[in-house]
Amino acid sequence: MSIKVGDVFPDTILTYVPYDANNPEACGLPQQLKTHEAFKGKKVVLFAVPGAFTPTCSEQHMPEYVQRIGELKGKGADIVACVASNDQFVMHAWGKSYDVKDDILMLSDANGELGTALGLVNDGTARRMGPIRLARFAMIIDDLKVVYIGVEPAPGVTFTAKSLKKESARLKKQSAGDEKKVKASIKDGDVESARIHASNAIRKKNTSLDLLRLSSRVDAAVSRIDMAVKMQHVTGSMALVVSDMDRALRKNMNLDAVSQIMDKFESQSENLDLHAKYMEGSMNTTTTLSTPQTEVDSLMQRVADEAGLELSQELGVMQAPQEPLPEDTRLNERLANLRNAL
C-alpha cells in the first residue's frame, strides 16, 4: 500500500556524494543519509524520478526544480532533495550537470529500499531498466510527517502521450518543408514533382493531426486514472470522517466535535466535486494513407498563388505571367494594317 498524507515518512538509508565548495570538480566519497536523522524537525521537499539523465526527467522535471529552488527555499523548505534509482555517483554527476551545488541534495535509492517502503515503485523490466524503479512523485515532509504527495498516475501512458506530441510536431515541420519544395518545383516548371511534394505535405500534415488527436485521448485517459487515484484518497478520508462522527455521537453527543467533523466532511465533499469535474473531447478521424487529388491540386494552387506564379496543370507547364512588350504590340498593329491594305 502506498504512503499517504498524514503518514510518517519511513526510516531508511539513502546514499549521496557531498558537494565540496572548495573543490567543486572533485567526486568525493559516498555518504549515508538516514532519513529520520536528516529530516527530523525540518521541512523537506522531496521529488523522485525513475532515472537520472533520462530524456523526460532531464528535459521536463529536473529543470523546473532547479529554476524554482529559490522559491522553494523562500517558502520555508529547509531541504530540497532529488532521489532516483541510480547509484550515488550517477546522481552526483547529474546534479553537477545542472550546477545545483548543494542547493539540491542528490540522493540514491539504488537498492529500492525507500521506494519499496513508500509503496511507490514501478517495474521497469519491459524498458530494460530493472525490476525496481522509483515512481515519479513529489512530496512535502514536515518533521517526518507527510503533508503533501503527488504521484504520476500512469508513467508509461504519460510517456506515450508526450512521444505522440513530439512526433506530431516533427511531422508538422516536415510538412512545411514539403510545401517549400512544392514552391521550388513550381518555379522550375516541374509540375509532376510539385504534385508529389504536395501529396507528401498533405499526408504528413494529416498524420500530424492524427497523432495530436491521439495524444489528446491518451491525456484524457491519464486524467481519468488520476481522478480514480484521487477518488480513492477522498473515499478513505471520508470513511475516517464518518468513523470520527460515529465516535463523537456515542460520547455524550459532543456538538462541538460533531460540528468540527461536519466541517471536515463538507471539505472532503468539495474535494470530491472538484475531482469529479473533468472533460473528455470527442475526436474526428482523418485518413492519412491517401491524399485526394483535389487536396493536392488545391495545395499546389495555393502555393502558386502565394508565390505569384501561374499554374497550368493541363499543359504541365509553369510560367510567370508576363505583360506584352510595347515593341510586340506595335509590330502586331503594323501587321494588322498591312493585312487590311491587301
Query: What pLDDT score was predicted for residue 39?
Result: 95
Q: Name the pTM for this structure.
A: 0.49
* Alpha-carbon span 186 to 301, nearest angstrom: 10
Between 106 and 20, name the one with better pLDDT. 106
Percent of the chain with pLDDT over 70: 61
What confidence tens digit (pLDDT) does each residue in 204-217 have?
888 888 878 877 77
* Alpha-carbon span 153 to 70, nearest angstrom: 28
Between 59 and 94, name the one with better pLDDT. 94
Average pLDDT value for residue range 2-10: 89
C-alpha cell at 220: 484524457
Query: What pLDDT score was predicted for residue 62?
Result: 87
Residue 129 · residue 50 · CB < 8 Å: yes
297-302 LR contacts (CB < 8 Å, sep 24+): 299/179, 299/182, 299/198, 299/201, 299/202, 300/182, 300/186, 300/191, 300/194, 300/195, 300/198
Between 276 and 51, name the one with better pLDDT. 51
Between 92 and 2, name the one with better pLDDT. 92
Inform me whether the pLDDT recorded for 73 exceeds 80.
Answer: yes
Identity of the residue numbered 151: V
* 12-21, 76-85, 282-291: segment of lowest average pLDDT: 282-291
Inform me whether the pLDDT recorded for 315 exceeds 60.
Answer: no
Catalytic residues: 57
Inform me whether the pLDDT recorded for 244 exceeds 70.
Answer: no
Helix axes 293-307, 155-187, angle to 10 degrees: 60
* Alpha-carbon span 130 to 122, nearest angstrom: 9
* 120-129, 164-173, 245-254, 282-291: segment of lowest average pLDDT: 282-291
Strands 317-319 and 310-312: antiparallel
Between 13 and 22, name the one with better pLDDT. 13
Average pLDDT value for residue range 84-92: 93
Residue owning grid cell 509590330: 331
Inform me whether the pLDDT recorded for 92 exceeds 90.
Answer: yes
List 311's β-bridge partners, or say none. Answer: 318
Task: Band the pLDDT of 288: cuts 50, 70, 90.
Answer: very low
Between 242 and 170, name the one with better pLDDT. 170
Inform me whether the pLDDT recorded for 218 exceeds 70.
Answer: no
Residue 48 · residue 134 · CB < 8 Å: yes
Inform me whether the pLDDT recorded for 274 exceeds 80.
Answer: no
Maximum distance among all alpha carbons in the chain?
Answer: 129
